[in-house]
């Protein structure tokens, strides 16, 4: 007979392995249902008198707007992360298991995000001024 500790370990292994499997099945199920809904809606539009090309255009999901500043944002966050870690190392504030280490890292990432926001704001303002006719 299995001991209580062995049963807990076995349950933890089974559950941890079932989470990704369930997630993958749910994603595929969701995609299949979405395609079925789109097909039914397209057929309903065609039956209502809309031509097939127009129905397809109406149903197609709009492409997500690409954020051209995402690389800048991630770069600033990673630089802030590195500077936070460097400050922690240089100051010798704390070992890694202490909360202050993580606070300094988070502060560095926050400063990186703020820097990214300011740069993006200035670039967008400059672009809008260039695009408006004078």
pLDDT band at 32 (very low <50, low <70, confident <90, very high): very high
Read off the pTM.
Answer: 0.49
Quick: pLDDT tens for 6-17. Answer: 778 888 888 888
Q: Which long-range contacts (CB under 8 A, 24 or more apart) does 76-82 make?
A: 76/112, 76/113, 76/115, 76/116, 76/119, 77/109, 77/112, 77/113, 77/116, 78/112, 79/112, 80/108, 80/109, 80/110, 80/111, 80/112, 80/113, 80/115, 81/105, 81/108, 81/109, 81/112, 82/108
Q: Which two tokens stand for residue 65?
A: 């707007």
Structural domain spans, the chain: 4-59, 70-129
Assign 66 a pLDDT band (cuts: 50, 70, 90): low
pLDDT value at residue 95: 67
Bigger pLDDT: 114 vs 55 = 114
3-class SS at 90? Answer: helix
Alpha carbons 51 and 119: distance in angstroms, whole number: 47
């Amino acid at each position: 007979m299995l001991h209580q500790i062995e049963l807990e370990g076995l349950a933890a292994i089974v559950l941890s392995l079932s989470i990704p499997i369930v997630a993958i099945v749910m994603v595929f199920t969701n995609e299949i249902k979405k395609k079925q809904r789109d097909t039914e809606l397209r057929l309903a539009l065609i039956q209502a008198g809309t031509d097939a090309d127009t129905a397809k255009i109406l149903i197609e999901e709009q492409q997500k707007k690409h954020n051209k500043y995402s690389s800048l944002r991630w770069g600033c966050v990673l630089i802030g992360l590195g500077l936070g870690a460097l400050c922690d190392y240089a100051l010798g504030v704390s070992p890694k298991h202490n909360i202050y280490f993580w606070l300094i890292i988070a502060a560095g990432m926050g400063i990186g995000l703020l820097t990214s926001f300011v740069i993006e704001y200035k670039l967008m303002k400059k672009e809008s001024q260039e695009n408006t006719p004078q």
